[in-house]
Structure formats: structure tokens, C-alpha cells
Structure 1
């Protein structure tokens, strides 16, 4: 027997879990999702993730399927039932089930599923040595601030980057980096400023990014919210990306260019330590 998953109000073995043929998340990608990191059995930044889930649902006119306190309780139950120490908790809410039609009934009941994934999040080779990211045109729709399940553009971009020998990919639109395919992109200038795009419909507001920004503010570190070009990124002193599943990840190569000396820089190392310390994890 594999994992225990949550589906439409019940905890069941994953082998028994079923989603309806006419679920709009399956037919149209009419769904939103969230991924929360779990380290030492404890959820990290989950308040930010549940707030973003509620916002995404509101932007699409989908009702929150349960009160936030009950959603958090079912996440905790999944962690316990699956004896999860390190990894992630995934939630997805679809608009519901109805016969296939672009237009949907106004009284639909949303469907909630959840599951855990075991993954080593800290102390990985990538976090120690950094990763290489490719650059690719951004193929996505214009409401990237909503964390929808429509991820085909990101899937294709990541797969292409992997075949080209890269670990991940940053997306570019109108000559500016938008974000990573599943992360927030950051660069550090020679004078120590941390650059990342301001919140807008062009990017997803990152929960790990927000948590790190609070830590930077407390430490007196300068964050400048503005877009930057691929060339600025390649000329930066350091670069990194943030996400729930990669935390603070050093980027040591962007496209064909090494960043700095090709190793994670001192500011990135400091940010990694700050984030892990705040999460209660030894750096």
C-alpha cells in the first residue's frame, strides 16, 4: 500500500483515489494548487501558502472548499498518516464537476485533493554547489499571479532546458526576466542589492520570496523590486531562485554565462542560512 491521500472529504490509499471524468480541473485546467514545504515534520510558511490559495480561488470565483483552519488540519493529518519528515504537501482545488462546457454552472461545489511527497529539501548537492538555468521565451497566459494547474508551458520549458543540459529555466518576456518556471528569480548586484520583480499579473507572488523579504528587512539588506534583463542577470555578482520545494537555491550559470566565479556567492550563502534558521533548521 502506498501513500494515504485526501480526496473530496476522505483519506484513502492512493490506489483507491479517483477523480471524476468531468472534473473541470482535468478537462480545462480550471483549478488552483499550492505546495508547502515540510522540514522535520513541520510545515514551512504555510500561512502564506493558504493565503495565496484563497486569493487564487477568489480571482477565479471558486469558493474555498473548507475553512482555512480545516485545510491546515487535513494537511497536518496527511503528514502524520504518511509519516512525512521532509518533503511537500500538495493541495489542489478544482471548480468542480459538470458536463464538459466552456461555460460553467454558478452553483458548482469545488473539489479538494491533497497528498504528500517525500523529498530531501536541505543539504542537497544543488544547494551546496548551485544550479544552471536556461533562458526561454515565456509561453504562458497573462494571469500568472493566479497559481493555476495549467502548467503545460512550464512543463515544456523545463523539459527543453533539461535536454539542453540545464537544471532549470528562467522565462523571458519583452526583453525582461519574468520568473523561473516554478520559482522566483533573484539577482544580487555588485553593491549588494537584491533584485526581484515587483508583484503584478506577470508573475506569481512567491511565498518563499515573501518570507525571505521579511528576513532581509529585519537584517537591513536591500531589496529592489524591479524587472531586470537577461544580460543584467548574467552580469550580476550572484543569482538565486526561491520556491517551496527548493527554498533558497543558488544559481551559478544563466544561459551560456557563469555567474561570478561559478560558485554560490557569500550573500546567497547568508540568505540560505537566514531562511533555514528562521525555519528552525541548522544551516
Structure 2
């Protein structure tokens, strides 16, 4: 049985889910996206994802394809049709179809597509093992705060990590860590402060990042929103990443250097449990 996709107002079988070759998302990566977590058939922190989607569209002068309420109604119907209990819901808005021209078209209707993915999120084996990462140069454009589908550089980084026999890569610009290929990056200093890069055009304002930092502050941790170097990360007590698809995931090795005893540390473990508990109890975090 194939999945059901959503394409511009219609729910269709996966094999029938198609867009035009003139769609600007395909031709120019002129599109934005969001990935929302689904647990027990419920969307987690989805209002925050839709708010960020609206901001991304606004930053690119892209008209919404429909109202936020209509998007969420379609999301919920898609989850129901695919009987998704645990996994992810991918949503993409492009500027739509127009003859190929670099300038924004004077008239085009934004396109909206969505699909679901089954994924083991709550009991991921990697949460028990921890991730190994390498550092790579950050080759991306200068507006990483806009969640666009222009993901070739992060894909290259992810593949470089896999080719090196590790799980992911942390990107470095001007000697400082920006973020992971598809996640925000953190270290826990020797005095148990949680450090992560401040928001700006250099990184994506992660929805999970916002929730985890709030929970960490409530748990009594000091939050330091400042960039850090790879060397500082190698000397940290712990490190971890956050994203909608990983929640809080410990990092135990950076460029071949083990952190602590090479196992997930107590801070990342605690924050993961706090986040999961909150997500299961409250849809909006």
C-alpha cells in the first residue's frame, strides 16, 4: 500500500504525486519547507513550525498557498489517511509554476505539497550510543535563517560524514561552529553551562532548539548563546544536537576525539527525557 501525498489541494497516491517541471522549487530551489514531528498520531509543536513557515515565505516575498488553518487541516487529514502513529510530516511551499526566469514571476500561484514518513523517534538506538561527527567548512549561503529547500551543501556535508564513517558533520565558518547539517549544535562546558550559537542569519532558529533551551533553563542550567570553536567542543564535558527528527541527541566523538568517557552524558540524557515527556503530554511546547 503506497502512501497518500498532498499536492495542491488533492490527496493522491504516491505514484500519482507530481508537480510541473516548471515549478520554481524544482528549477531554482525557490521554495521553503518544514518538518513536523508526529507522536501518537499528534503533531508536536506544529504551530511554531507554521509560524516559522510564514516567516520564511515573508522573507522571500512568497505568497502563502492557503491559510494556516487550511494547511493544518490538510496535515491532520494526511496523518489520518496514512495512519501515521510516529514519524515526520514534510511540508513544502514553492513560488509555483512560471516560465524559467531568474526574476520572481509577476503572477504565479504558490504550490503546497506534503507527505509523511514513518520513523522510530522515541526509541532511537542512536540516543543510547551517541553520534560521531566531523567538522567541515560551512559552504552555505548567508541566509540560513530562512528554511529553504536549497540543501545541496548540507547534503554534501552529510555524505562527507558518511564517507568518513561517522554520523554527521558540524559546519565551521571563520573558525566557529555554526550548526550541524540538519540540526542545531550544543556543548556542555566543564562548569555545566549549555552553550550554543546565538540566533542570526548564520543559523536556523530551530523549533526544537527553542523548546529545549526553555526546558534547560527551567531545569536550572545556565544558557550561553555564543559561538564556540571545534577545539572548545573537543574539550567539552558533553555535546548534543537538536532537531524535530532527533529531539535531543548526544554527540560523543568530534573529529576522532572522545568526549568524556565516550558515552552519552547526563545533561543530554536528562534534556532528552524532559523533551519527550513534554512532547507526549503537550502538543504545543
Tell me the SS of whatever aligns to 1:143.
coil
Determine the C-alpha separation between the residues in 2 that align with 1:106 and 1:170.
39
Alignment of 1:14-53 (within 5 A): 14-53=14-53
Alignment of 1:239-258 (within 5 A): 239-258=239-258
The alpha carbon displacement at 1:220 in A equals 2.4
The alpha carbon displacement at 1:104 in A equals 2.2
CA RMSD of aligned residues (A): 0.9
Q: Normalising to structure 1: TM-score of the pair?
A: 0.97
The alpha carbon displacement at 1:191 in A equals 0.8
**Aligned residue for 1:118?**
118
**Aligned residue for 2:57?**
57
Q: 1:226-271 deviations in whole A, cap 9, x for unaligned?
A: 0000000111000000000111000000112111110011111110
Determine the C-alpha separation between the residues in 2 that align with 1:222 and 1:254.
23
Tell me the SS of whatever aligns to 1:79.
helix
Count of residue pairs brought into register by the alignment: 281
**Aligned residue for 2:212?**
212
**Aligned residue for 2:98?**
98
Determine the C-alpha separation between the residues in 2 that align with 1:42 and 1:94.
26
The alpha carbon displacement at 1:48 in A equals 1.3
Q: Which runs of 5 or more residues in structure 1 are unaligned?
A: none
Determine the C-alpha separation between the residues in 2 that align with 1:109 and 1:67.
14
The alpha carbon displacement at 1:81 in A equals 0.2
The alpha carbon displacement at 1:145 in A equals 0.4
The alpha carbon displacement at 1:129 in A equals 1.4
**Aligned residue for 1:85?**
85
Determine the C-alpha separation between the residues in 2 that align with 1:232 and 1:263.
18
Tell me the SS of whatever aligns to 2:274.
helix
The alpha carbon displacement at 1:213 in A equals 1.4
The alpha carbon displacement at 1:64 in A equals 1.5
The alpha carbon displacement at 1:113 in A equals 0.3
The alpha carbon displacement at 1:67 in A equals 1.3
Q: Which runs of 5 or more residues in structure 2 are unaligned?
A: none
Determine the C-alpha separation between the residues in 2 that align with 1:129 and 1:260.
13
Q: 1:163-184 deviations in whole A, cap 9, x for unaligned?
A: 1011011100000000000000
Alignment of 1:191-210 (within 5 A): 191-210=191-210
Q: 1:45-104 deviations in whole A, cap 9, x for unaligned?
A: 111111111110100000121211111111111110000011100000000110111012
Determine the C-alpha separation between the residues in 1 that align with 2:52 and 2:274.
23
Q: Which moved more, 1:102-111 or 1:186-195?
A: 102-111
Tell me the SS of whatever aligns to 2:280.
coil
The alpha carbon displacement at 1:280 in A equals 1.6
Q: Which moved more, 1:41-50 or 1:233-242?
A: 41-50
Q: Does 1:184 align with 2:184?
A: yes
Determine the C-alpha separation between the residues in 1 that align with 2:48 and 2:257.
34
Determine the C-alpha separation between the residues in 2 that align with 1:56 and 1:177.
23
Q: 1:106-152 deviations in whole A, cap 9, x for unaligned?
A: 33210000000011011121011111011100010000000000000
